[in-house]
Amino acid sequence: MAAPAKRNLDELAHHPDYAVKVQVERRETEADAQHRRRKDLISFVALLIALGLLTLAALVVVLVPGLAPESKNWATSALSAIVAGGLGYLGGKKQAD
């Protein structure tokens, strides 16, 4: 089998039918990858804890009788936002193909 023909890259870069991009990326080492995953996990767990505490507080305010109606306004708004965000996360975003 014949070797592929060599091309002049400078000619190709200046050809009107082509747009040439050169990108240099640093390879991620295993230690960097582990560190990034650990940071992502810590952020995710912290977010889940904060969201859980907010949900718990809002449920307490909504379900405990005798609290002022003004208190229940923020709680129902927060619960609505949490449910809407959860459904949006589960539903995902439609990709246009």
Which residues fall within 8 angstroms of residue 43, CB to CB, at 6 or more apart? none
pTM metric for this prediction:
0.61
| Per-residue pLDDT tens digits for 62-97 | 998 888 888 889 899 999 999 998 888 888 866 655
Kindly compute the dihedral angle of the four CA atoms of residues 61, 64, 68, 74, in this order, to the nearest 10 degrees: 20
What residues contact 72, with CB distance under 8 A and at least 6 apart?
A: 61, 62
> Which burial class, exposed, middle or buried, applies to 75 when counting CB atoms under 10 A from its CB (0-12, 13-18, 19+)?
buried
Backbone angles phi, psi at 44, to 5 degrees: -65, -45
